[in-house]
Amino acid sequence: MTSPVRRLRVDQVEQTRNGLLDAAERLFAEHGVSNVSNRQISEAAGQGNVTAVSYHFGAKSDLVRAIIARHATPMEQIRKTLIDEYGQSTALRDWVTCTVRPITDHLIALGSPSWYARFAAQVMTEPTLRQLAGAEFGADARLHTVHDRLHACLPHLPSSVRRERDSMAHTLIVHFCAEREHTTDPPWPAIAEALISAVEGLYRAPA
């Protein structure tokens, strides 16, 4: 049985970690990952110890991975719900919906202000970090299911073209959401519908 003192210590550590994650995500979103120091993150999180980031997370890449992981989990759950809804569909738009809405629905749940989309856009600009993010999301078997079912709707496209359009679609979704994140209009459901239509059109374009 955990003692009250031990429980308090665990809660304090968790609160500190979450504060550092919040501060890092906002600063990375606003300034880019490479332009933000651990000292700046610690100060923004109200930590007097400037080594707090390295103590709790290690290298900056580990901090970025931790930010990605805490958003990946709720998006995986949204993706599961969508797959349950569209699992028997052979319509391209339905599988594009399963690609777009895990992000837009998650951003709705985050409320305003949020920084995740802008953070994700910054990560995409640095090849090493983009590869790191790909590894984190690549562990979700449901994401592979969505890609496989979406590709099955496009048997006429060469596999190299499908992969190229996957990259285009991901870039469009992330950057368009990042552009919308710091505003209040149009609402996220409208953004989702616009993105679904645009990405569907991208996949349907002739090779």
Residues 125 and 187 in one domain: yes
Residues 94 and 51 in one domain: no
> Quick check: is 186 in a domain?
yes
Cβ neighbours, 10 Å, residue 49: 11
Number of domains within the chain:
2
C-alpha distances out from residue 5 to 17, 69, 155, Å: 18, 29, 60
> Quick check: is 197 in a domain?
yes
Is 199 in contact with 96 (CB distance < 8 Å)? Answer: yes
Residues 76 and 142 in one domain: yes
> Quick check: is 63 in a domain?
no
Residues 45 and 133 in one domain: no
Phi, psi of 187 (to 5 degrees): -70, 160
Residues 110 and 22 in one domain: no
Residues 24-71 pLDDT 10s? 999 999 999 999 999 999 999 998 787 899 999 999 999 999 999 999
Residues 73 and 45 in one domain: no
Residues 109 and 196 in one domain: yes
**Higher model confidence: residue 3 or residue 120?**
120
| Per-position b or e across 178-200, b if 16+ CB within 10 A of its CB | bebbeeeeeebeebbeebbeebb
Residues 121 and 25 in one domain: no
CATH (domain of 32): 1.10.10
Looking at 10, 25, 58, the residue that finishes a domain is: 58
Residues 47 and 76 in one domain: no
pLDDT exceeds cutoff 80 at 103: yes
Residues 104 and 151 in one domain: yes
Looking at 39, 58, 77, the residue that finishes a domain is: 58
> Quick check: is 101 in a domain?
yes
Residues 75 and 53 in one domain: no
Residues 71-86 pLDDT 10s? 999 999 999 999 999 9
pLDDT exceeds cutoff 70 at 10: no
Residues 33 and 87 in one domain: no
Q: Distance (Å, rounded) from C-alpha 185 to C-alpha 176?
A: 13
Confidence grade of residue 5 (pLDDT, cut at 50, 70, 90): low
End-to-end Cα, the chain, rounded Å:
62
Domain region containing 48? 1-58
